[in-house]
Amino acid sequence: MKVNVQTPNFVADAKLIDFIEKKLSKLEQFYDRIIYADVFLKVQKTSDKENKNVEILLSIPGDDLIAKKEAKSFEEGTDECVHALQRQLKKRKQKQRAFS
């Protein structure tokens, strides 16, 4: 799976990108036909502590899955997005099994 990380208005360090790639690679255990993942990391200019937005778009045959989360850190947001995508992939696989 190819992972594209986009960070408008700031530069992400290598540790963060490695962390994201490692987390996303675990999704292949649930669904092995993932084509690529687009990750968007954004910082909102607010006084709120939860100002980090993480948006992950997974491209799989048929359509795309999207998860958006807001958190205190990009790592926490990535974890939450990956858990949401795991649930979506499990549901999708169960539907495929039911039809086949």
Say if strands 2-6 and 36-43 run parallel, antiparallel, or are unpaired.
parallel
* % of the chain exceeding 90 in pLDDT: 71
pLDDT of residue 100: 66
Domains in the chain: boundaries: 2-99
pLDDT of residue 31: 86
Top CATH class, 2-99 = alpha beta
Q: CA-to-CA distance for 49 and 15, rounded, in angstroms?
A: 22
With a cut of 50, which residues of the chain have pLDDT below it?
Answer: none
Q: What is the pTM of this model?
A: 0.91
